[in-house]
């Protein structure tokens, strides 16, 4: 499939480039960029009429299974702290997930991500009563939507050893089956230090080493994780994770709200990716993440909120501004971090519209009322653009959203089925 995209105004936070251009796409890569490119034989010519084009966005940490939780009845008793939020809400929801609910949550969440211009989702999945094959259900749903997924199953001790081992096997199986595919990759999922024994952490690290991948884990989201690690080992949380080989250039640590300054330096030294989830941190009241201390290898995630990276970036910026720490550049750097992380996971350039980069791009219907160029793109990204600007999306060289509709998918039927699955899920939650 060859496409010539004419009359684009390219805009990238990743490499600071901007300007009028035509883009040539061959297969899943951008192969040409220039002014007035002439069509080649067999090429589909699409004129975008001077619209802005940005690279497809990356959500670096989320849980698609929470897509069916919108409007869910609140727990009988309001949770008093982070552990209670997990016990009374999320751990009830994940226990109630069956294959149908897993599939429809991924389909609904994937469609929502696509409409927000997000073409890669790094997901962290848990469904303790439907573990085997759960990652294939998510893969199938995302493949139907047409976007990429880096998937893992959340290993934890909270359901006993049998479930822990089933989780480890699910990770291994998916890492193996997704390796080398165009759209999917696997990581080793681990819940958090406070629900993992030494032996379980060791097993996660072993699998990551064996398959040359990383561990995707929640770290210091709440002080409870830090206190638990202190109880387990005198050296504390970061040393515990380092000791078992969980920190590495391939690993992804979500949150990192409550670490010490020396721990952030250790993260930078190990090259571990750190993911900031401002909306989730605020919603759970876990504290202010010190983003100004985060290493260069950091990115942005939505942690169960819709994969709307415009909204997440905006919230992250407001939170940092309120704290008096970190400017627009830092938040834009986190968005660009998602592209660098995806590039490492897929072994191809993301986040650029230069030849050689993956053909994941978003066409925006945005009419700026002030000048827009490479040096002020961040300002427009944070205060002008939004998911409502997303008109068309290409992923891997294929139009997966065209003029605000999804070719080949009956979204009304999907919404109806997802809603039914959600109603069943909410009912089941009262029983588990
Ligand atoms: Zn999370």
Q: Note the pLDDT of residue 133.
A: 98
- CA–centroid distance, residue 218 to ligand 1 (Å): 6
- CA–centroid distance, residue 156 to ligand 1 (Å): 14
Q: Note the pLDDT of residue 175.
A: 98
Q: Note the pLDDT of residue 248.
A: 97
- CA–centroid distance, residue 174 to ligand 1 (Å): 20
Judged on CB neighbours under 10 Å (0-12, 13-18, 19+), 86 is: buried
Judged on CB neighbours under 10 Å (0-12, 13-18, 19+), 386 is: middle
Q: Which regions of the chain are under pLDDT 70? A: 14-17, 326-327
Q: Note the pLDDT of residue 73.
A: 87
Q: Note the pLDDT of residue 40.
A: 94
Q: Note the pLDDT of residue 326.
A: 64
- CA–centroid distance, residue 117 to ligand 1 (Å): 21
- CA–centroid distance, residue 280 to ligand 1 (Å): 8
- CA–centroid distance, residue 194 to ligand 1 (Å): 14
Q: Note the pLDDT of residue 60.
A: 98
- CA–centroid distance, residue 343 to ligand 1 (Å): 21
Q: Note the pLDDT of residue 230.
A: 94
- CA–centroid distance, residue 371 to ligand 1 (Å): 38
pTM reported for the whole predicted model: 0.97
Task: Kindly report the three-state secondary structure assignment for every residue of the chain.
Answer: CEEEEEEEEEECCCCCCEEEEEEEEECCEEEEEECCCCCCCCEEEEECCCCEEEECEEEEEECHHHHHHCCCCCCCCCCCCHHHHHHHHHHHHHHHCCHHHHHHHHHHHHHHHHHCCEEEEEECECCCCCCCCHHHHHHHHHHHHCCEEEECECECCCCCHHHHHHHHHHHHHHHHHHCCCCCEEECEEEEEHHHCCHHHHHHHHHHHHHCCCCEEEEECCCHHHHHHHHHHCCCCHHHHHHHCCCCCCCCEEEECCCCCHHHHHHHHHHCCEEEECHHHHHHHCCCCCCHHHCCCCEEECCCCCCCCHHHHHHHHHHHHHHHCCCCHHHHHHHHHHHHHHHHHHHCCCCCCCCCCCECCEEEECCCCCCCCCHHHHHHHHHHCCCHHHEEEEEECCEEEEECCECCCCCHHHHHHHHHHHHHHHHHHHCCC
- CA–centroid distance, residue 123 to ligand 1 (Å): 9
- CA–centroid distance, residue 64 to ligand 1 (Å): 10
Residues bordering ligand 1, an ion, CB closer than 5 Å = 303
- CA–centroid distance, residue 89 to ligand 1 (Å): 13
Q: Note the pLDDT of residue 17.
A: 67
């Amino acid at each position: 499939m060859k496409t010539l995209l004419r009359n684009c105004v390219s805009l990238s936070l990743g490499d600071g480039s901007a300007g009028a251009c035509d883009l040539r796409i061959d297969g899943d890569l951008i192969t040409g960029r220039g002014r007035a490119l002439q069509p080649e034989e067999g090429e589909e010519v699409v004129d975008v009429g001077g619209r802005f084009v940005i690279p497809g966005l990356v959500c670096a940490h989320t849980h698609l299974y929470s897509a069916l939780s919108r409007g869910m009845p609140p727990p009988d008793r309001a949770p008093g702290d982070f552990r209670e939020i997990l016990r009374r809400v999320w751990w009830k929801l994940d226990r109630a997930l069956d294959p149908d609910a897993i599939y429809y949550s991924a389909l609904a969440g994937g469609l929502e991500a696509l409409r927000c211009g997000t073409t890669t989702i790094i997901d962290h999945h848990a469904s303790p009563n439907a573990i085997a094959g759960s990652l294939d259900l998510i893969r199938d749903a995302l493949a139907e939507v047409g976007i990429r997924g880096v998937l893992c199953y959340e290993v934890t001790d909270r359901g006993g050893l049998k479930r822990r081992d089933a989780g480890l096997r699910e990770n291994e199986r998916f890492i193996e089956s997704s390796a080398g595919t165009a759209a999917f990759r696997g990581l080793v999922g681990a819940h958090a230090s406070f629900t993992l024994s030494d032996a379980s952490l060791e097993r996660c690290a072993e699998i990551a080493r064996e398959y040359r991948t990383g561990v995707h884990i929640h770290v210091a989201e709440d002080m409870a994780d830090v206190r638990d690690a202190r109880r387990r080992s005198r050296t504390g949380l970061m040393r515990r994770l380092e000791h078992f080989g969980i920190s590495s250039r391939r690993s992804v640590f979500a949150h990192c709200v409550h670490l010490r300054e020396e721990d952030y330096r250790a993260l930078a030294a190990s090259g571990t990716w750190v993911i900031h989830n401002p909306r989730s941190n605020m919603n759970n009241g876990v504290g202010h993440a010190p983003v100004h201390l985060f290493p260069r290898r950091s990115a942005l995630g939505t942690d169960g909120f819709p994969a709307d990276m415009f909204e997440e970036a905006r919230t992250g910026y407001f939170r940092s501004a309120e704290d008096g720490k970190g400017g627009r550049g830092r938040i834009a750097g986190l968005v660009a971090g998602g592209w660098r992380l995806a590039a490492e996971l897929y072994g191809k350039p993301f986040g650029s519209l230069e030849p050689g980069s993956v053909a994941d791009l978003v066409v925006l219907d945005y009419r700026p009322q002030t000048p827009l160029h490479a040096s002020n793109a961040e300002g427009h990204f944070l205060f002008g653009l939004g998911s409502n600007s997303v008109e068309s999306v290409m992923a891997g060289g294929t139009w997966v959203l065209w003029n605000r509709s999804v070719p080949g998918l009956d979204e009304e039927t999907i919404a109806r089925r997802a809603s039914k699955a959600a109603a069943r899920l909410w009912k089941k939650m009262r029983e588990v």
